[in-house]
């Protein structure tokens, strides 16, 4: 699919237009489709959230960190929902950087470091060792009565319910796969 993606300002005027192509990914609809900015506005560089290292994804837009993508697609995603919920915010941030020289708000780093940051925020921990402990506990021995990772003695599902729901929304086997990638 090829087309123009118009972004509008607060007055309803076209602020920026991107030429894009959308391709079906191998895992779609359980994974995002691949989207490419083909008009040459976004430099092909990882610090612009463009995939440059992975040959299968080369020059596609890096829309979100992998855990976010997997959760968003857990029940399948349509192309329309992908565009509305993920592609448009991505291109608004790109347009902002093109116009002002920086991204608005916080951005995840590209690649595996972005995944580490995602889990640091999710678990509210400050180091990677704690992330690995939590993910290992969850993937191997987690059940309804497991104690929370924070150490206060409460059950995990009652102590950190948002974290619990987030982890439960990930497909079976994903956390084990993430552990391998993060340990790799």
CA dist., res. 160 & res. 155, Å (int): 8
Query: Taking the model in full, what pTM does it have?
Result: 0.85
- Phi and psi, residue 155, nearest 5°: -70, 140
SS3 content of the chain, % helix, strand, coil (to 5): 45, 15, 40
**Crossing angle of helices 161-169/112-123, nearest 10°?**
140
| Mean pLDDT in residue range 68-90 | 95
* pLDDT 10s digits, 84-140: 999 999 999 999 999 999 999 888 998 889 999 999 999 998 889 989 988 887 776
| Mean pLDDT in residue range 68-84 | 94
| Mean pLDDT in residue range 17-28 | 94
CA dist., res. 55 & res. 162, Å (int): 35
**Six-digit token pair at 156?**
């995990």
């Amino acid at each position: 699919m090829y087309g123009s993606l118009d972004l509008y300002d607060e007055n309803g005027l076209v602020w920026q237009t991107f030429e894009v192509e959308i391709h079906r990914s191998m895992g779609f609809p359980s994974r995002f489709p691949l989207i490419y900015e083909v008009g040459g506005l976004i430099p092909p560089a990882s610090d612009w959230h463009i995939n440059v290292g992975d040959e299968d994804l080369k020059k596609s837009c890096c829309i979100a960190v992998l855990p976010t993508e997997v959760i968003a697609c857990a029940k399948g995603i349509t192309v329309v929902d992908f565009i509305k919920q993920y592609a448009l915010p991505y291109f608004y941030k790109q347009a902002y950087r093109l116009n002002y020289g920086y991204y608005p708000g916080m951005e995840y780093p590209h690649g595996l470091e972005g995944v580490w940051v995602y889990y640091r925020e999710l678990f509210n921990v400050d180091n990677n060792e704690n992330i690995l402990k939590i993910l290992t506990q969850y993937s191997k021995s987690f059940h309804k009565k497991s104690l929370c990772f924070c150490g206060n003695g409460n059950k995990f599902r009652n102590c950190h319910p948002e974290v619990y729901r987030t982890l439960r929304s990930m497909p079976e086997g994903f956390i084990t796969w993430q552990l391998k990638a993060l340990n790799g």
